[in-house]
Amino acid sequence: LREQIIQLGPWHLEVKVTDALTTRTALDDPDAMYPESYGPVTFRSPEESFKHQMLRVFPEGLAGRAVLDCACNCGAYLFWAKELGAGRCFGFDIRQHWIDQARFLQAHRLPPVEDLTFEVCDLYDVPSLGLEAFDITRFGGIFYHLPDPVSGLKIAADLTQELLIIDTATRNGFPDGLLYVCEEGTHLMSGVYRLAWLPTGPEPLRRILAWLGFPHTRLEWWKTETAEQPAEMGRLELLAAKHEQAFAYYDSIVASRAPQ
Ligand SMILES: C[S@@+](CC[C@H](N)C(=O)[O-])C[C@H]1O[C@@H](n2cnc3c(N)ncnc32)[C@H](O)[C@@H]1O
């Protein structure tokens, strides 16, 4: 398993494979060499924060809710959603590299889980898959890799009944409320279209989300400095719901983050 993890690298997310082994093994191994064309791949371990976040919205766990993960990378969040009791789960990513990792994890993690599917797919092609709606959708690390992020987010929102989780890089140095146009490369962690837009804060996301039928939002956090990104970029995470009621428990425990 260790050799396969190294072969399938680089990995972006730390996922437990067995009690003794996580995908971090590829990071720590001096023999793990990957083509330069892959570009830089940051490594993160967000399992605990994701689970904690979900339990702050759904204190009883996900209770069979269907979950969609857009640009799912190695599928990490869906494995963790399953551990919290999710029902049908679907993850897609435009790159075979990441879906190979997701399928490896699915084949080797214990206990095996049912009703979890991964596909290589461009976000813009998702409507042609004819998917049934989901209760919860994660839109993490994808908004700022799209030439038309409004249409991209609309595709996710149209498939979502209850809660959207949006995590995006932001652009510092401009008033909130703007989308800052830029170009990016096409390495493993990027988009494929080169043209991209960075929100200058949560405001453009709130306005777009309200227009898409998700008027209730909670800003989880917004940092103007991060260890992993260039100085001009920040990052934020926002929750959005169709109905205020979705945040009843969240608001009761996160007093300092009352409705925004
Ligand atoms: C910054 S990573 C974020 C990965 C993961 N969602 C997370 O939150 O850690 C960006 C991911 O988006 C994928 N991606 C980029 N453009 C895409 C597109 N048009 N459709 C689907 N996936 C895309 C990349 O292959 C990569 O896995």
Type of residue numbered 54: M
Question: Residue 220's closest CA among 166, 156, 178?
Answer: 166
Condensed to tens digits (0 to 9), the pLDDT of residues 160-182 reads: 999 999 999 999 999 999 999 99
For the cut 80, the answer to whether the pLDDT of residue 256 exceeds it is no
Cα 85 to chain centroid, rounded: 18
Q: How far is the CA of 38 from the centre of ligand 1 (A)?
A: 14
Condensed to tens digits (0 to 9), the pLDDT of residues 125-162 reads: 999 999 999 999 999 999 999 999 999 999 999 999 99
Residues 108 and 125: their CA atoms lie apart, in Å, by 29
DSSP sequence for 11-64: -SB--EEETTEETTHHHH-TT----GGG-----B--HHHHHHHHHHH-TT--TT
Condensed to tens digits (0 to 9), the pLDDT of residues 43-58 reads: 999 999 999 999 999 9
Output the six-digit token pair for 144. Answer: 């700022």
Paired with 233 in beta bridges are: 171
Q: Are strands 16-18 and 21-22 parallel, antiparallel or unpaired?
A: antiparallel
Q: How far is the CA of 253 from the centre of ligand 1 (A)?
A: 31
pLDDT value of residue 255: 65
Q: Would you place residue 31 in the very low, low, confident or very high pLDDT band (cuts 50, 70, 90)? A: confident
Q: How far is the CA of 5 from the centre of ligand 1 (A)?
A: 20
Q: Would you place residue 229 in the very low, low, confident or very high pLDDT band (cuts 50, 70, 90)? A: confident
Long-range contacts of 184-189 (CB under 8 A, 24+ apart): 184/145, 185/39, 187/37, 187/38, 187/39, 187/40, 188/10, 188/38, 188/39, 188/41, 188/95, 188/97, 188/98, 189/12, 189/39, 189/40, 189/41, 189/42, 189/141
Q: How far is the CA of 130 from the centre of ligand 1 (A)?
A: 21
Instruction: List ligand 1's pocket residues with C-beta within 6 A.
Output: 12-13, 71-73, 93-95, 98, 122-123, 140-142, 145, 167, 189, 191-192
pLDDT value of residue 17: 97
> Where does 83-149 show beta strands of DSSP type E?
89-93, 116-120, 134-140
